[in-house]
Amino acid sequence: MANAQYVQNPISSESIIRWSPDIEEYVRKATRTWCYRLGIRGADIEDLEQDAVLTAWGRCENGKIRYKEGLWFLARNTVLDFRARRGRIETCQLDEFTVRVLSNPLDKMVLEGLEREMPELIMLASARADGFEWELIAENLGVPCGTLRVRYSRMVKKAVEQFGDELYDLFRIERI
What pLDDT digit, counting tens, does each position of 100-156 carry? Answer: 444 566 666 767 777 777 778 777 877 777 777 888 888 877 888 888 888 888 888
Secondary structure (3-state) at 7: strand
pLDDT at 91 over 60: no
Residue 173 and residue 176: Cα distance in Å, rounded?
Answer: 9
Residue 149 and residue 136: Cα distance in Å, rounded?
Answer: 12
Residue 8 and residue 78: Cα distance in Å, rounded?
Answer: 27
Q: Nearest 5°: CA angle at 147, between 96 and 164? A: 70
- Cβ neighbours, 10 Å, residue 86: 12
User: What's the average model confidence in pLDDT over 73-83?
Assistant: 89
* Identity of the amino acid at 15: S
Q: Are 78 and 51 in contact (CB under 8 A)?
A: yes
Q: Are 82 and 48 in contact (CB under 8 A)?
A: yes
The predicted pLDDT at position 12 comes to 44
Residues near 140 by Cβ (< 8 Å), separated by ≥ 6? Answer: 93, 94
Residue 162 and residue 158: Cα distance in Å, rounded?
Answer: 6
Q: Are 58 and 65 in contact (CB under 8 A)?
A: no
| pTM of the shown model | 0.45
The predicted pLDDT at position 162 comes to 79
Residue 133 and residue 151: Cα distance in Å, rounded?
Answer: 15
Residue 21 and residue 60: Cα distance in Å, rounded?
Answer: 13
The predicted pLDDT at position 8 comes to 46
Query: Over the chain, what is the mean pLDDT?
Result: 76
Residue 78 and residue 71: Cα distance in Å, rounded?
Answer: 11
Residue 25 and residue 31: Cα distance in Å, rounded?
Answer: 10
The predicted pLDDT at position 95 comes to 46
